[in-house]
Structure 1
C-alpha cells in the first residue's frame, strides 16, 4: 500500500503518523485523551477495521491503532518476525519506544491472540483485554498441519501474492470473500477491503503471517493469564467458531463472554456502536479514571 496513492482518503487519516522502530516502519493512528487503549486488527486487515470504533473510544480514552507488519501501510522490515511471539514482542517494544503504556488492548481475531501474548512482553501488563471473535485455536487435525504448510509454500513463491491480488481484484470476489466470514459490510467497507486485497504486498504479508502462526505456547499459558478478559463473539461467525472463545474463557481465571446473535466475524465493522457498548462498560469496570 502506498500512502501517497491509497492514504488520501484512508479512514481517520488525520490521526495517522509513521514510526520507524526496528525492524518495521509502522503506520500508527492515535486519537483522544485518557487511559491508553491499543487496537490490534486481524490477519489481512488494517487500521480501517477500527474506522468507526476508534472515534467512539476516543471520546473517553487515548486510542492507538496500528497496522501489523507488512499489512496496510506498515512496511515489513524482517519477514522472519511475523509469527505470534515476534510480533507481540515487536509491538510491545514499539509501545515502549513511544512512551506508551496500554491500559487495555482490544484485538480482533488474530489480534486478540497477539493481545494475550503481549501480557508476557509488556513491562506493565494491561488492566483489561478484549477479544472480538478471538482466534485462539489452531486448526484441528490435518488442517492444522496443512494450512500453515500451504501458506508457507505460497509465501515463498514470489508470484503468489500478485496472482491472488489479481484473482480477487473484482468487487464480486471481495463481496464473496467477506460474505464467507458471516458478515455483511457497507459499500465503503467492501471498497476498503478491495483496496487491501488488490495489493500484492499486503497479501504477501498476510500469507507470511499465516505461515509462521502457531498458538501452542499461548494455549498452554491461558490458565495463567489473570488479566480480566472479555470475549465478544458473533454467532454468525463462519471464520472463527464462537465455541473457541467459550473454551478459552472456561480455562481462564477472569474471562467473560458477550454474544451478538446477528453478527459475523467482522462484528465491530457491521455494528460498531452496539459492539463498542460492552467494551466501554468492561473498560469502565477495570480501568481507573
Structure 2
C-alpha cells in the first residue's frame, strides 16, 4: 500500500491548523476544526476534500460565528469508518454522534457538494435542527444521462478491488494529474490549493473512503425525501460548475419552490475556494433572513 496521511508530517501548513483537534465519536477518531464566536455553523466538505477547503471561508466567518468543520469519515485526517457509516443516512448518524460529543447545536448547516446532502439528511432525520441550510454547489439529485448510469456502479466495482485506491493514489502524486482533475470541475485554484488536493489524493485510505462514500449513497431515495424539508434552503451555484450541472439547482427549486438560488458567475464546483467572500456573504444573508444575529452585529 502507498503512503498514508500523518498529521505531524503532512499538515504542518494546514489551513487553520491552530483550530484543529481530534475527537473520539462513533468508534472513530475525527479531525475537527473549531473556531470563532457567535451563532453556531456546521460546515461539511464534499467527497474527496477535507477541512482545508473551508480554510479562507472559516476565517471570514469566525469573527461573527462559531464554526465547526470535521473531516468526513475516512477522509483527510479522520479515521476509516465502519461500513455502516458510508451510506448517506449512516454518515448523518456518525456526524450527529460527533456533534453530541462536542455539545454543538448548529443554527446554520452549510455543505459543499455531497456535504450539502449530508446536512439536509441530518435535518430530515431530526439529528440537527438548523434554522437555515446553505448548499454550496450541492450534489442533491442523481446524475442524469450516461454519467448517472455508470457512476455508482463503477464506484462499487472499484471499492471491491483492493488495489484500486492504491493505483489512484499513485497516479495522484503527479501534480499535473491533480491540476487536470481540478480544471475539470470548472474551478481554478492556486498552486497551494492544488497541493492540498494532491496530498489528500495521494493517500489510498482517503481515496478508498471517497469511493466507498460514492458507492454506498442512494441519491434517488434521498431526492424523494426533499419535499419534506421545511427549513429555509439557499442554493449557491457556481455557474461554471462542470461537476454538478448548474441546472440541478433549478430542478431542486421545482421540488422546493421556497428555496433561494444564488448564482455566482464565472465560478466552478470549488466556488467556495475561488471566492470565499461571496460564499461567506451568502451564508451571512441566509442567517440574517432566518433571524440569526451574528455576534458582531450591532
> Into which bin does the TM-score normalised by the smaller protein fall?
over 0.9
Indicate how the Cα distance of structure 1 residues 198 and 273 shifts in structure 2: closer, same or farther if over 3 A, else same: same
Runs of 4+ in structure 1 over 4 Å off? none
Q: How far apart in 2 are the matches of 1:56 and 1:217?
A: 35
Give the superposition deviation at 1:140: 2.6
Q: Give the match for residue 41 of structure 1.
A: 45
Paired residues of 2:124 and 2:229 also in contact (CA < 8 A): no
Q: Return the match for 1:63 from 67, 75, 89.
A: 67
**Which range is displaced more, 32-41 or 80-89?**
80-89
The normalised TM-score by structure 1 is 0.96
Offset at 1:146?
Answer: 2.5
Q: Secondary structure at the match of 1:19?
A: strand
Aligned-pair CA distance for 1:217: 2.4
Q: How do residues 188-227 of structure 1 correspond to structure 2 at under 5 angstroms? A: 188-227=192-231
Deviations 1:12-35 (A, max 9, x none): 110001111123211110001111
Unaligned runs of 5+ in 1: none
Q: Distance in 2 between matches of 1:288 and 1:194?
A: 37
Q: Which residue of 2 aligns with 1:267?
A: 271
Aligned-partner Cα distance in 2 for 1:183–1:287? 33
Deviation at 1:62, TM superposition (A): 0.3
Q: Do structure 1's residue 22 and structure 2's residue 26 form an aligned pair?
A: yes
| 3-state SS, counterpart of residue 164 of structure 1 | helix
Displacement of 1:124 in angstroms is 4.7
Are 1:163 and 2:173 counterparts?
no
**Counterpart for residue 152 of structure 1:** 156
Secondary structure of 1:52's match? Answer: helix
Equivalent position to 2:10, from 6, 25, 31: 6
Q: Tell me: CA distance 1:123–1:210, structure 2 relative to 1, closer, same or farther (3 Å).
A: closer
- 1:93: which partner in 2? 97
RMSD over equivalenced CA pairs, Å: 1.4
Residue deviations 1:72-93, cap 9 Å, x none? 0000130332111100111112
For 1:69 and 1:288, the matched residues in 2 are separated by 29
Q: Which residue of 1 aligns with 2:296?
A: none
TM-superposed CA distance for 1:275, in Å, is 2.3
1:106 maps onto 2:110 in alignment? yes
Deviations 1:195-214 (A, max 9, x none): 11111111111111111011
Tell me the TM-score normalised to structure 2 length.
0.93
Aligned counterpart in structure 1 of residue 140 of structure 2, from 122, 136, 160: 136
Deviation of the 1:123 alpha carbon: 4.7
User: Per the alignment, in what secondary structure is the counterpart of residue 187 of structure 2?
Assistant: coil
Compared CA separation, residues 84 and 123, structure 1 to 2 (3 A): closer
Match of 2:243 among 219, 225, 239: 239
Corresponding residue for residue 251 of structure 1: 255
**Distance in 2 between the 1:149 and 1:80 partners?**
19
Partners of 2:122 and 2:128 within 8 A in 1: no
What SS is found at the alignment partner of 1:65? strand
Against the structure 1 CA distance between its residues 124 and 199, is the aligned structure 2 distance closer, same or farther, given a 3 Å change threshold? Answer: closer
When residues 101 and 253 of structure 1 are mapped into structure 2, their CA distance, relative to the original with a 3 A threshold, is farther
18-27 or 169-178: bigger deviation? 18-27
Aligned counterpart, 1:178: 182
Residue in structure 2 matching 1:77, options 76, 81, 99:
81
Give the whole-Å Cα distance in 2 for the aligned partners of 1:247 and 1:43. Answer: 22
